[in-house]
Amino acid sequence: MATTGLLFHLHPTAFSSARPQNATSRLHSHCPPQGIHAAGRRCLLRAKSSNGHPQIGASFSDGVLDGKVPGGGPPEQEGNTVSITVVGASGDLAKKKIFPALFALFYEDWLPKHFTVFGYARSKMSDEELRNMISMTLTCRIDQRENCSDKMEQFLQRCFYQSGHYNSEEGFSELDRKLTEKEAGKLPNRLFYLSIPPNIFVDVVRSASRTASSPSGWTRFIVEKPFGRDYESSGELTRSLKMYLAEEQIFRIDHYLGKELVENLSVLRFSNLVFQPLWSRDYIRNVQLIFSEDFGTEGRGGYFDNYGIIRDIMQNHLLQILALFAMETPVSLAAEDIRNEKVKVLRSMRRLKLEDVVVGQYKGHTRGGKSFPAYVDDPTVPSGSVTPTFAAAALFIDNARWDGVPFLMKAGKALHTRRAEIRVQFRRVPGNLYRGNVGTDLDMATNELVLRVQPDEAIYLKINNKVPGLGMRLDSSNLNLFYSERYQREIPDAYERLLLDAIEGERRLFIRSDELDAAWAIFTPVLKELEDKRVAPELYPYGSRGPVGAHYLAANYNVRWGDISSDGSF
């Protein structure tokens, strides 16, 4: 009996891409094998800071990564320090994500031995007031190895504050003076996180780069999306930033690339032989990238209305995932090799046309005696706004591997559930012997691979199997890996991974300028047409599955959205 042939060994370790627990495993993406295994040899990243000095914190010698021995823990170099300045420290992103992520890294001993955190914003605030503000959002959610309050107090004592205007060189000069005091003669490395609106990126970079750059170590800037509104404005932003910074100093962050399941995507594909021959137009019928939120703009309508769901989610989060999914095997795991392959995918994609896009906007709805407001009911949204809160699109990659395969994207707010997932639907079995046992809907009998990014991270593969009994009745079942069941550790937040990578100079999960240009080139024409023609979005009730037009769009390519299938899948 051939049943064992089905057990192609979905071993949990093959799926896992949890953050490495030792320095050696984090190093494999940087150094050639001989640099890791040859005794007494030293593997060194030759990347330099803007002032020509080697970037500290990226070398390996006899099993030690800058003093960090295998098994985890911070670098122990006495001569180096890292100063992390959160610009826009009083904002929601800083309070809810950035400071908690820094504390989690400190709690897990991933930060260097010598580090300092500074907050910078216009608000007048003392060091103690900043610490009180930060302490409200810190939690010891990871392994309780040490007393939480002690670790929290140690972290807070390394946090300081400087107030100043974002376009003020005087404010950043005073910050520089305080940073220099804290660095106390050590080799200073400085990281600036721009947690601010995009219209003041250039002002901050101009002032900070001129007056607060490290005099002898590296200086890096993390820039949050949105990176412009279209191809032209994005290019102008890049040119403006490069007046003061080298490309190597700019870390454009898309936090979705730090999600565990997105990180695991390349592991799943490139380290499991069973999937490699299947990853092409020969076996894959369509790929779906789905993002949904079960809440509306909730007071962010004024900001959201200037961008809309396509710019907010599809042009960055979902398109980045698509590029990782579809890219060819890179030469190595080095950042530039991976980003080169992603750019090739983006440049091979057709520009979106209006007929391949459906837009929607949620309307008010009453359910269970509770009323939910329409998007235009938000007082911060302009009256008569046609900004889409939902969009579905069909994209195509014109290359040998993916020719003719529709990549369907769907993203929306105020939908029936919160979900982010990648669904890979495979082709039908040619001449299926059991087609008479699966009913008339052969699409329901095709295999499907699903990577659930959030919530409840999981990977599962839908297969057909016989229902026990004397008859021959087939059923669909899931071979699944639930992260919460397989791994007891809580999954780190995406910001933890990305902050750690920025400190270490690892650019693999950050977006390069030519990658950004290629992404905008795909979406800019259709965005311009939507806005010039003021295309009215199809209204859908708050809490529904979205506009009906999305189903017609999928049907045009003989596709059924996987998240609404009748098979009861997750």
DSSP state of 544: B
The bridge status of strand 448-454 relative to strand 458-466 is antiparallel
Q: Tell whether 268 and 358 lie within a shared domain.
A: yes
- The Cα–Cα gap between 554 and 546 comes to 13
* pLDDT at residue number 50: 39
Q: Is residue 408 part of a domain?
A: yes
Q: Are 275 and 383 contained in the same domain?
A: yes
Burial of 537 from C-beta contacts in 10 A (0-12 / 13-18 / 19+): buried
- The contacts of residue 79 (CB under 8 Å, 6+ apart) are 186, 187
User: What rounded mean pLDDT belongs to the chain?
Assistant: 80
Looking up tokens 């990977």, which residue turns up?
459
Distance, in Å, from the CA atom of 129 to the CA atom of 98, rounded to the nearest integer, reads: 17
- Which residue in the block uniquely carries the two structure tokens 């395969």? 405
| Cβ neighbours, 10 Å, residue 122 | 13
Report the share of the chain in percent with pLDDT over 90: 42
pLDDT one-digit tens code per residue, 35-92: 333 333 234 333 444 333 434 333 333 333 333 333 334 444 567 889 999 999 988 8
More confident call, 395 vs 45: 395
Q: Is residue 51 part of a domain?
A: yes
Is residue 90 domain-shared with residue 140, that is, in the same domain?
Answer: yes
Q: Is residue 297 part of a domain?
A: yes
What number is the average pLDDT over the span 393-418? 94
Kindly state whether residue 568 falls inside one of the protein's structural domains: no
Asked about 365 being catalytic, the answer comes back as: no
Q: Considering only CA atoms, which of 286, 293, 283 is closest in space to residue 425?
A: 286
Q: Is the pLDDT of residue 348 over 60?
A: yes
Domain-terminating residue out of 253, 268, 299 = 253
Residue with the bigger pLDDT between 436 and 377: it is: 377
Q: What is the DSSP code (8-state) at residue 68?
A: B
Within a domain: residue 475? no
The CATH number assigned to the domain holding 225 equals: 3.40.50.720
For residues 393 and 275, the answer to whether their CB atoms sit within 8 Å is no
User: Are 221 and 283 spatial neighbours (Cβ–Cβ below 8 Å)?
Assistant: no
Same domain, 276 and 204: no
- 242 and 343 share a domain? no
Say if residue 239 is in the same domain as residue 347.
Answer: no
CATH of the domain at 523: 3.30.360.10
**283 and 193 both lie in a single domain:** no
Does residue 346 carry a pLDDT above 60?
yes
pLDDT at 482: 75
Q: Containing domain of residue 533, as a range?
A: 257-422+512-556
What is the predicted pLDDT for the residue at 487? 72
236, 265: one domain: no
**Mean pLDDT for the stretch of residues 370-380:** 88
Domain total of the chain: 3
> Distance between CA atoms of 393 and 546, rounded to whole angstroms?
13
> Bigger pLDDT: 82 or 27?
82
Q: Judge whether 1 and 248 are in contact, CB under 8 Å.
A: no
Same domain for 312 and 212, yes or no, is no
What is the pLDDT averaged over residues 360-367? 89
State the distance between the two ends of the chain, measured CA to CA, in whole angstroms.
31
In a domain, 447, yes or no: no
Which residues, other chains included, contact 368 with Cβ-Cβ below 8 Å and sequence gap of 6+? Answer: none
208 and 170 in a common domain: yes
Taking the C-alpha atoms of residue 18 and residue 509, their distance in angstroms, rounded to an integer, is: 15
Question: Are residues 124 and 235 located together in one domain of the fold?
Answer: yes
Q: What does the buried/exposed string (b/e) look like for 90-105 if buried means 16 or more CB atoms within 10 Å of the residue's CB?
A: bbebbbebbbbbbbbb
Q: Which of 317, 365, 416, 551 is catalytic?
A: 317
Q: Where are the beta strands (DSSP E) in 347-489?
A: 357-363, 365-367, 370-372, 390-395, 407-412, 419-426, 448-454, 458-466, 474-482
Q: What is the pLDDT of residues 192-228, one digit of tens each?
A: 999 988 888 999 999 999 999 998 899 999 998 888 8
Give a yes or no: residue 462 inside a domain.
no
> Which of 6, 23, 56 is the last residue in one of the domains?
56
pLDDT, tens digit, for every residue of 126-152?
A: 989 899 898 888 877 655 556 778 888
**Domain ends where: 199, 233, 253?**
253
Average pLDDT over residues 90-117: 90
Q: Are residues 235 and 124 in the same domain?
A: yes
What is the DSSP secondary structure assignment for residue 562, as one 8-state letter? G
In a domain, 412, yes or no: yes
